[in-house]
Amino acid sequence: MGFRLWALGFRLYAKRESLSENRKAKNVNIILIMNESAKIFDQIVDKRRAYREFDTNFDLPDFVVKNSLERAIKSPSSSNMQLWEFYRIKSKEGIKEVAEICLNQPGAKTASEIVIFVARPDLWRERQKVHLKRLEKVETKNVKNKLFGSSELSYFSTVIPQFYNPTLPCIRDLVKHIYVWSKSRKGAFMQDVYSKHIPIVTQKSVALAAQTFMLSISAEGYDSLPMEGLDSKLMKKYLKLPKSAEINMAIAVGKGMPDGLRGARFRLPYDDVVYEI
């Protein structure tokens, strides 16, 4: 009997050790995969440069921009409102017109495609309706989330309109000022909740999508050029956008020419811009 117990105990110990070794091996594999992913990401980031001239004899595959925009759409956005739009300029005539709006920059004139990134804070009601419809099928929509202090349904039905509704801005900002002041007396509270912050918030989200897009173009093996130098008034007119829409940037895409770079990459040293507290 004693021998059987000893044998059973040994087998259990050996099984536990085997499971432990398997877990260690799995963890090592995960680390190796993560390290390899980091190396690939480094290559993608290093390859991304602002090319100011592209090969005009090269036909960019359509899937390159399509895939990259699909990845850009997965970028984080404030409150998941996704108040953005992306306009692909593909035809030669369109590129010529948009290049003129982009002040005839060589990068715009020689691009295979130009994508316009647009902030649309005016679409907040439409996006809100989409979320409310989505929540009709969510069983936990009324459950209070401890991270946000309200349920998801309550957040999109009450908090979102309080921030994004642009009507009567002076009165709304006054009410917000009183509310923020009272809350701030008890501790830290969000300050950037006024009418002037709406375009800032939406532009931040669009900029995140633009960066994802450019990194994706780099991952596909091609090049890009972000352009802020443009006539935003003419661009909105060309795209038939309302006054409330805002142009974030235009991004030229193509196969970069060797002479399209303005020299070696220069960045300030890590210690000059990163502060550890």
C-alpha distances in Å from residue 54, one per residue of 60, 81, 133: 11, 34, 44
Quote the pLDDT of residue 98: 98
Q: State the DSSP H helix or E strand holding residue 34, giving kind and residue range, or none if neither.
A: helix 2-47
Chain center to CA of 276 = 25
Quote the pLDDT of residue 196: 92
- The answer to whether the Cα torsion of 211, 213, 214, 215 is positive or negative is positive
130-142 pLDDT tens trace: 999 999 888 877 7
Distance separating alpha carbons of residues 213 and 72, to the nearest angstrom: 5
Q: Are 241 and 121 in contact (CB under 8 A)?
A: no
Domain at 48-261, CATH from 3.40.109.10, 3.40.50.1980, 3.40.50.300, 2.40.110.10:
3.40.109.10
41-92 pLDDT tens trace: 999 999 999 999 999 999 999 999 999 999 999 999 999 999 999 999 999 9
Quote the pLDDT of residue 177: 87
Mean pLDDT estimate for the chain: 89
Distance separating alpha carbons of residues 171 and 192, to the nearest angstrom: 16
Domain residues of the chain, as ranges? 1-46, 48-261
Question: Quick one: average pLDDT of 205-211?
Answer: 98
Quote the pLDDT of residue 34: 66
| Dihedral angle, C-alpha 175, 177, 183, 185, nearest 10 ° | -140
Quote the pLDDT of residue 112: 98
pLDDT at 28 over 70: no
pLDDT band at 231 (very low <50, low <70, confident <90, very high): very high
Quote the pLDDT of residue 207: 98
Quote the pLDDT of residue 142: 79
Quote the pLDDT of residue 2: 54
Q: State the DSSP H helix or E strand holding residue 225, giving kind and residue range, or none if neither.
A: strand 223-227
CB atoms within 10 A of CB 251: 26
Q: Are 95 and 111 in contact (CB under 8 A)?
A: yes
Which region among 42-51, 176-185, 216-225, 249-258 has the lowest average model confidence (pLDDT)?
Answer: 176-185
98-147 pLDDT tens trace: 999 999 999 999 999 999 999 999 999 999 999 999 998 888 777 777 66
Distance separating alpha carbons of residues 197 and 188, to the nearest angstrom: 18
pLDDT at 1 over 60: no
Quote the pLDDT of residue 5: 47
CB atoms within 10 A of CB 86: 19
What percent of the chain lies above the pLDDT cut of 70? 86
pLDDT at 203 over 90: yes
Quote the pLDDT of residue 7: 52
